[in-house]
Amino acid sequence: MPADIGMTINERRKYLMRMRLRYVQANRRERSRLLDEMEEVTELHRKSLVRLMQDELVRKVRQRQRGRTYNYEVDDAIRVIAETLDYICAERLTPGLLSTARLLIGHGELVVSDRVLALLGQISVRTVKRILQRIRQDERRLPRRGPERALQILREVPAERIPWDIAEPGHCEVDLVHHCGPSASGDYLHSLQMTDVATGWSERVAVLGRSGLVMEAGFRRILARLPFALLELHPDNGSEFLNNHVWRFFKGQLPGLHFSRSRPWQKNDNRFVEQKNQSLVRAYLGFDRLDSLTHVQLVNQLYDKMWLYYNFFQPVLHTAEKTILTAEGRRSHLKRRYDTAQTPFERVCAANAITPERRQLLEQLHQQTNPRRLRQQIYALIDAIAALPLAEGPVDVRAAVAILAQPIPLPAGYQPAIKLAA
């Protein structure tokens, strides 16, 4: 039967439902003739047709979903090969995947396991087409301009996630929250947020746009206040983090810093900072557009007060244990047990992640702060931000960078754990 007139599964089931009415009423000889007819029309095996005639012919929901055969390692390999061959179509790309992968391995451009090589040799054109569609969603094609630096950085940064039970402070997830409102045109505010996995310590700063200049200024403001050493930075796969400007800044300032990134299309790899995006950014600023210099000024004032309020006065729960419960031999659900709630500052102190001098200064700041008054100040700033008008024209980004360079309200004598060069 030609492929263009073949039956789909649903069409085949409808046909068999009609034939089943005749089949159950027929005698032995007539049933044999009907099976011959159904075998010719559906191209199913005769034994399969006999079983279907004895069944309800209703498609059952799969009890256990199949896992992905071709995981993110195959996706990353195909991304490199597709870029190497100038993004040709899947029909042209698939037959040469294995040979091209071996060639790139020989030149040191690709590192994959034997299992990935075997998968590249058996993958179908249709699967490659789906993978290429996903790749094009988060990758900008720049043909005829040579290799892209972003792809090189993607190959250098391992795709993984920070373990939920890591005990050492300094392993931080980072993300960017857009405040563009209904339109993403022009420059607008972004909340750059960093969250420590072990302690729940969170840092936020408002930047205007996503250029390398403002991203560096935002990271400088965060690192100038972070009380413990930064050991690992874990963003998603966004180009605002994986670019030459941010890469050069961190390699120059923190050469020993470990970079990792989320696995492609695995949003839960950044689960801790994603949760803070909702509870500590969207819950206060909503989804309205913020795009003026006054917005930059006031939102950073808000974040300065939230830094003190949430790190010193808001207890957080951490998962202490995970147990997989089973029912009838199958995984039923995951049960979590949480530890006693503590503030991020208490967790940092318990981990001995800060020097005694810095701890004493922060404890004095904690004792001198009225949390009730601080909360009132936070909500007053939120009302003031909501009442501000939008910018009437283009905003000078360098003026927004100058706002980020203003002194941060910290205790007198406070020395940051991370010292950056000018």
Q: What is the pLDDT of residues 68-81, one digit of tens each?
A: 788 888 998 998 88
Cβ–Cβ < 8 Å for 44, 16: no
Computed over every residue of the chain, the mean pLDDT equals 88
With a cut of 80, say whether residue 6 has pLDDT above it: no
Output the six-digit token pair for 284.
């206060």
Output the six-digit token pair for 42.
């559906």
Predicted pLDDT of residue 138: 53
With a cut of 80, say whether residue 21 has pLDDT above it: yes
Nearest-5° Cα angle at 195, 233 to 154: 30
Rounded mean pLDDT of 409-418? 86
Lowest mean pLDDT among 16-20, 64-68, 240-244, 410-414: 64-68
* Rounded Cα distance, 367 and 371, in Å: 10
Lowest mean pLDDT among 196-205, 262-271, 337-346: 262-271
The sheet carrying 189-196 orders its strands as 202-208, 189-196, 171-179, 232-234, 258-259
Please say whether the dihedral angle defined by the alpha carbons of residues 162, 163, 164 and 170, taken in this order, is positive or negative.
negative
Largest Cα span, the chain: 98
Predicted pLDDT of residue 290: 95
What global pTM score does this model have? 0.66
Q: Where are the domains of the chain?
A: 3-53, 72-147, 171-404
Nearest-5° Cα angle at 399, 393 to 402: 160
With a cut of 50, say whether residue 186 has pLDDT above it: yes
With a cut of 50, say whether residue 14 has pLDDT above it: yes
Please say whether the dihedral angle defined by the alpha carbons of residues 237, 238, 241 and 245, taken in this order, is positive or negative.
positive
Lowest mean pLDDT among 56-65, 217-226, 411-420: 56-65
* Rounded Cα distance, 213 and 220, in Å: 11
Predicted pLDDT of residue 345: 95
Q: Are strands 189-196 and 171-179 parallel, antiparallel or unpaired?
A: antiparallel
Per-residue pLDDT tens over the stretch 125-154 = 999 999 988 877 655 444 444 345 556 777
* Position 3 confidence tier, pLDDT thresholds 50, 70, 90: very low
Share of the chain above pLDDT 70, in %: 94
With a cut of 90, say whether residue 163 has pLDDT above it: yes
Rounded mean pLDDT of 147-170? 82
Predicted pLDDT of residue 86: 74
What 3-state DSSP class applies to 323?
strand
Predicted pLDDT of residue 141: 46
Share of the chain above pLDDT 90, in %: 55
Q: Tell me, which fold does domain 171-404 have in CATH?
A: Nucleotidyltransferase; domain 5 (3.30.420)
Per-residue pLDDT tens over the stretch 277-333 = 999 999 999 999 999 999 999 999 999 999 999 999 998 889 999 888 887 767 778
Give whole-number Cα distances, 19 to 38, 54, 120, in Å.
Answer: 8, 12, 42
